Amino acid sequence: MDIKTLCLGVLSLGEASGYEIKKFFEDGFSHFYVAGFGSIYPALAELTREGHVTCCDIAQEKRPAKKVYHITPSGAALFRRELAQAHPVHRVRSDFLLQMIFAAFMPPSRLDEVLALRLEDIRAELGHIELCNRRQDIPPSAHFALGYAQAVLQAGLDYIEGNRGVLSVTPPNKDAP
Amino acid sequence: MDIKTLCLGVLSLGEASGYEIKKFFEDGFSHFYVAGFGSIYPALAELTREGHVTCCDIAQEKRPAKKVYHITPSGAALFRRELAQAHPVHRVRSDFLLQMIFAAFMPPSRLDEVLALRLEDIRAELGHIELCNRRQDIPPSAHFALGYAQAVLQAGLDYIEGNRGVLSVTPPNKDAP
DNA sequence: CGCACCATGTAAGCAGTTACATGATTCG
DNA sequence: CGAATCATGTAACTGCTTACATGGTGCG
């Protein structure tokens, strides 16, 4: 699923501008998909050229004009075809886990820092998801996706808290030796 | 962490050829890192030019000659610096969860297929990890990373099995209306 | 006899990120 | 008064994937 398909997906839920498409993913789905303006705007331009979406310039008071995109029947058909074909890939690219493999080459204080940073990130993402779960403008199945992300993040959090002990080669000295 | 750093990491555990570096990640760590030959070989060549690794041509009987790489002190220092700097990013890019958001645009049979494919992938990865966990040639902290991956995969599996019901918009008709 | 494994490398291509450019409004 | 939000876009860059090229060994 490339970014063009993703734009078609969001637009099949309703009209939106490029800016709003980015926000759609940022607010809650950022855990499993991130896209920048540098990808979204060119994708929308191409989809327009291909006739899969149409575009209306909307002037606004007290803020910049925006371009609102609508999906066309050809776009909707393309999106369904894409959904029917795509293999459900789920790719993880974790510098964190890579760092853990090589934990022995880090000073203990740095190891603590890395774990703290990861826990912080997980907690932030969990908070994000909780907020997003209250949204009414997303399809019911999106809550399934959010629940999945939540379950997986929580499992990671619990794992770190329960097993960080195995990383410290030198356990905190019990008492006077 | 780019691929050059990763190669330094593997070589700081012991000498290896490009082929063996790829296998190191493939056998067990493929869940959170994948690299192809097209990345590894050029990375090793560059590290050699920079003096961070050295290379010995080793002829073998009944199989092709291989190039065994050794890390140099400058390479080891570079790797430690990299470990001390890198933010522990953990990025997920899931077509599967994206497809779930838009599940309403898929025929029910296709939805079943997608879920089955995902469950299959998870089970395969869990099996992979279990095998790798028995390896003796990896540092103890690598088992922490493997355990993390295992916990997270298991949580995903349980979530799908426990919550796939919410995806079917049309519950099996109770009885005659 | 074909396929998988061992083993290395090059070159083209692509998807996405980062940085740059612009500018009004609103909030602390 | 600086920062964040709203809003769109281009261009360079980069890091990785894919395909191509080569060739012996061993298994079913």
Give the mean pLDDT of chain A.
Answer: 91
Interval B135-151: pLDDT, tens: 888 899 999 999 999 99
Nearest CA-CA distance, residue A62 and chain B, Å: 34
pLDDT at B171 over 50: no
The answer to whether B83 contacts A102, with C-beta atoms less than 8 Å apart, is yes
Asked if residues A97 and B153 have their Cβ atoms less than 8 Å apart, the reply is no
Nearest CA-CA distance, residue B56 and chain A, Å: 25
CA-CA distance, A10 to B14, in Å (whole number)? 48
Indicate if the alpha-carbon torsion angle A23, A24, A27, A30 is positive or negative. Answer: negative
For B56, half-sphere exposure in the C-beta direction (CA atoms, 13 angstrom radius) is 8
pLDDT at A41 over 60: yes
pLDDT at A177 over 60: no
Q: Burial code of B2-36, b = ≥16 C-beta within 10 A, e = fewer?
A: ebbbbbbbbbbbeebbbeebbebbeebbbbbbebe
Interval B51-88: pLDDT, tens: 999 999 999 888 899 999 999 999 999 999 999 998 99
Token pair 């879920």 in the structure block, residue? B115
Of B94, B114, B118, the CB nearest to A32: B94
Least confident of A80-84, B31-35, B53-57: B31-35
For A55, half-sphere exposure in the C-beta direction (CA atoms, 13 angstrom radius) is 17
Chain A residues whose CB is inside 8 A of the B155 CB are 151-152, 154-155
Tell me the pLDDT band of A28, cut-offs 50, 70 and 90. confident
CB count in 10 Å sphere of residue A57: 8
The answer to whether B166 contacts A154, with C-beta atoms less than 8 Å apart, is no
Residues 46-85 of B with CB under 8 A from A: 79-80, 83-84
Identify the pLDDT of residue B169: 56
Interval B86-119: pLDDT, tens: 899 999 999 999 999 999 999 999 999 999 999 9
Tell me the pLDDT band of A137, cut-offs 50, 70 and 90. confident
The answer to whether A145 contacts B114, with C-beta atoms less than 8 Å apart, is no
